[in-house]
Structure 1
Amino acid sequence: MNAPTIVAGALWLVALWRLPSIRHSRKQRSLALTLVCLAAAMTFEVPDVKAAVNGAAGADVRLPPLLKHLLGVTSAAYLLDFVIAVVRPQGLARRTRLAAIGVTLSLMLAFYALANWMPGGPVRLGEDKGAIFPVLYMAVFTLYIGVAMIVATWLFLGGIRHSRTLLGKAGLGFLGLGTLLGSLYALQRVAFVAIHLSTGAGHPELEDLLSTTLKQAAILSIALGVCLPPLSVAVDYVRSWNTLRRLQPLWGHLTEAVPYVVLSASIPQRRVPFRLERCVIEIEDACLALREYVSVDVHERARFFAERKAVKEAEVDAVAEACWLHVAVRASRSSRQLKGVEHPPLGVTGRDRTSELAWLCAVSLAYTSSPVIAEFSRQEQALASLSAGGPERSSSHGK
């Protein structure tokens, strides 16, 4: 299997994967159409496809190169539209871009029809009275590709610092690399035409090698860059699912004690990020409700108890939080809320999103697996029994 076939096949796989997103937004539509145009353009480099088209239209018509170039220009326009939607949502010279692509496609069709191509192929200069039209055709094609790729490179690389995820940054980096290679592709085309016009010497083999290498490297880099941001979404989805799985034991214990904090609206199982958000909200609401059943003294005793049991320093706060929550859950079944006392602080207060989830996971792990929790709860229960029985014993001694 030859290189054009492999590149075209890889592009079609990526294009078909992204095609369903075409209806979601302008950004996704531009990206999907970019990939479809790129895949179609590279398909006309596959030898069997090229031979079939030439057989149907005639070899003298040279239809495959024209279609490949038109699709290449169109894909560059959609890619530019995509990066602007990502990095500059407010837009950037939309009317100018529409006029540029319209003029470019029209001029390419006109100059290609008027060109007197040499037998070497569509990238060679013509001869006799039609010699100027191949030059103009390649000039228009190269100018649009070069300017579009330079602007796209500037926008992609400039947008890296705004991306929130590592894979998102990597995706923009590969997209920027791909458009940079596209710029180099356009520059080398200009260089070879300039050399031919100034010296009359041609280097078709070197030109074909550089053109093919830069073009395929640019396309594959763009395809890889397109794949990484969705992969980032998949990684976030798996991370959310894992966090939700770790929080559900704590959620179950707390909401069983105060079931009224559970929201009534149902969320489909597949919407894991929303389920995680709801789980966090309900855990925090349950903590707020349960803290009304214990005083701050319980929290202080829990922290001292955890330290005395040689709990790791990094885990003491989470274990202490789990301790007073366990006592509060038990108290909520048989006691009334405490009035006129200071209640324990919530460890989740004042944290950012990442720290908040890490904290709740640590508390959940301690609540369900640390032996210190049950031991402290038994100690508090015994202490409460002694406090409740004290006045009664004193009264009986008085009698």
Structure 2
Amino acid sequence: MENLTACLAALVFLAFAGHRLTLARGGGADPAHRDVAGFALCAGMAMLLNAPAVLGVLERSVSAPCAELLLPWELKAAAGTFLALVALALDPRVGEPVPTRRRRRIGGTAVVVQVAALGLFLGSGVTGDGAYFVAAPGRGRVLAAYNVLFVAYLCWSLCVLARALVRHARETLPGPLRTGLRLAALATATAVVWTLWTLDDAAANITTGRQGLSEDLLSTTLGMLTAVLVTAGATATLWGERITAPLRRLRARRTHRALEPLWAALHAELPEIALDPDAARRPALRQAEFARYRRVIEIRDGILALRPYQRAEALDRTVRALDGTGLAAVDREAVLEAAVIAAALADRRAGRLYDGAPGRAAPTPSARLETVEDEAAWLVRVARAFTRSPVVRDIRDRAHAQVTAE
């Protein structure tokens, strides 16, 4: 089972490396593509060398410790170096090509680690003994230092990359690219667990001076999971739209339905806001995003048409009612706008125009509404307050009572 899992993980990594190298052909290609390809190639080769079937072939021409312990770790360290270079390319401070000196600094660090690791490996005097590596007498700690050095270097590379990915994802608009960045960040977390699992070898080095030849099933499974997440994250722009589009449309239709109570109240009093005679019908899934956009426009048109009927008195009364309720600022603002709308609808039905200072009774949210999604999310809060808030209900009842009394 370990053999199959290791080979599958290696195949995923190597196929992905080939795909990235194809994209990176040409002198003007982004170096980050080559760095990603280099990581996948080194990681895939390391996984392949850990497969028992491949180890059996290598042992005929290369000594067992070199084939099974030194080469895979050297390849994994090289993969970590490529990850650090990818993180450098994602640095938001870099608006132009990555400075050569920064790449050289990372490369120099990698060379130091590789040379130090080679010295520790040779100093441990490790030899093969059946299914185990065995350090020379009294040198188990040297072999443990060899393993810890690689674990520390790989974890540092992965953490640098994870930090860059998370920061980049926060600054990226929703879509396939952000999905890919989040998957890549998850892959780095999985890779950290995969790398830290090697510390059990270091513990065995110190206590017994021995270490198993190949990776166990959990280690190869973590490697397989990392390979899948890396591939999925890096290709998200290819498949992401096909998967996210239906989910996005479902969210749009759910938002369209959540806006129904507020829209219906406005439409009942101002039927002219409807841009489509069938606006009250539930939209088909393919038209959900456009229907949500249209509904947002219709609600805003209705609120604008109510401006002559908005009274500062309703706003002031709502503010007093909300004092001491402990509502979050955004919920408080939604209740304020919903209350003003409810009072203005009652006044319009009674034909009562407000002749006070224009705009004084028209609250606006403090949040920045830069996209249709932002605007729709805000109006959903207003619609929820319009139908559920006891403060809005009280303002509506007072407005009706005043109209009736007159």
TM-score (norm 2): 0.52
Matching of residues 21-100 of structure 1 within 5 Å: 21-23=23-25, 24-57=29-62, 59-88=63-92, 90=94, 94-100=103-109
CA gap of 1:48–1:187, structure 2 versus 1, over 3 A, is: closer
The question of whether the paired residues in 1 share the 8 Å contact of 2:131 and 2:213 is answered with: no
Larger Cα Rg: Structure 1 or Structure 2?
1
Q: Which AA in structure 1 matches 2:223?
A: K
Q: What does the per-residue CA deviation read over 1:36-80, in whole Å, with 9 as the maximum and x for residues that have no partner?
A: 2222222212333222221122x4453243222111111111122
Aligned counterparts, 1:345-356, within 5 A: none
Distance 2:143 2:239 in 1: 43
Match of 1:212 among 188, 206, 220: 220
The correspondence for 1:19, drawn from 15, 18, 21, is 21
Point out where structure 1 has 5 or more consecutive residues left out of the alignment: 237-304, 319-351, 356-399
More helix by share: 1
**Structure 1 residues 128 and 16: CA distance shift in structure 2, 3 A:** same
- Asked if structure 1 preserves the Cα contact closer than 8 Å seen for 2:187 and 2:226, the reply is yes
Cα offset for 1:145? 0.8
Structure 1 residue 103 displacement after superposition: 0.5
Out of 125, 140, 154, the position equivalent to 1:145 is 154
Letter in 1 for 2:74: L
**Which residue of structure 2 aligns with residue 171 of structure 1?**
180
Q: 2:85 is matched by which residue type in structure 1?
A: D
Q: Does 1:112 align with 2:114?
A: no
Question: Aligned partner of 1:178: which letter?
Answer: A
State the 1:311 CA deviation: 6.9
Q: SS of the residue aligned with 1:56? A: coil
How far apart in 2 are the matches of 1:122 and 1:109?
22
What is the CA deviation profile of residues 233-285 of structure 1, one whole-angstrom value per residue up to 9, with x for unaligned ones?
8899xxxxxxxxxxxxxxxxxxxxxxxxxxxxxxxxxxxxxxxxxxxxxxxxx
Give, in whole Å, the separation in 1 of the partners of 2:21 and 2:157.
23
The alpha-carbon deviation at position 155 of structure 1 amounts to 1.9
Could you tell which deviates more after superposition, 306-315 or 135-144?
Answer: 306-315
Deviation digits for residues 301-344 of structure 1 (CA, Å, limit 9, x no counterpart): xxxx998995759789x9xxxxxxxxxxxxxxxxxxxxxxxxxx
- Residue 162 of structure 1 and its aligned partner are, at CA, apart by 1.8
| 1:131 aligned onto 2:140 | yes
Aligned to 1:189: 198
2:131 and 2:113 mapped to 1: Cα distance?
A: 17
Q: Which residue is equivalent to 2:6?
A: 4
The partner residue of 2:168 within 149, 159, 162 is 159
The answer to whether residue 237 in structure 2 is matched with residue 229 in structure 1 is yes
Give, in angstroms, the shift of residue 192 of structure 1: 5.0
**1:104 Cα deviation from its structure 2 partner:** 0.9
Instruction: Tell me how far apart the structure 2 counterparts of residues 308 and 191 of structure 1 sit (CA, whole Å).
Output: 67
Contact 2:68 2:214 (C-alpha < 8 Å) held by counterparts: no
Query: Distance in 2 between the 1:177 and 1:62 partners?
Result: 32
Return closer, same or farther for 1:116/1:206 CA change in 2, 3 Å cut-off. closer
Unaligned residue ranges in structure 2 (runs of 5+): 245-271, 281-290, 298-369, 374-406
Asked if the contact 1:156/1:173 (under 8 Å) is kept, the reply is: yes
Q: Following TM superposition, by how much is the alpha carbon of 1:164 offset from its aligned partner in structure 2, in angstroms?
A: 2.5
Q: CA deviation at 1:167?
A: 2.3
3-state SS, counterpart of residue 128 of structure 1: coil
After superposition, the CA RMSD in angstroms is 4.2
Contact 2:141 2:205 (8 Å CA) reproduced: no
| 1:129–1:306 distance in 2 versus 1, CA, 3 Å | closer
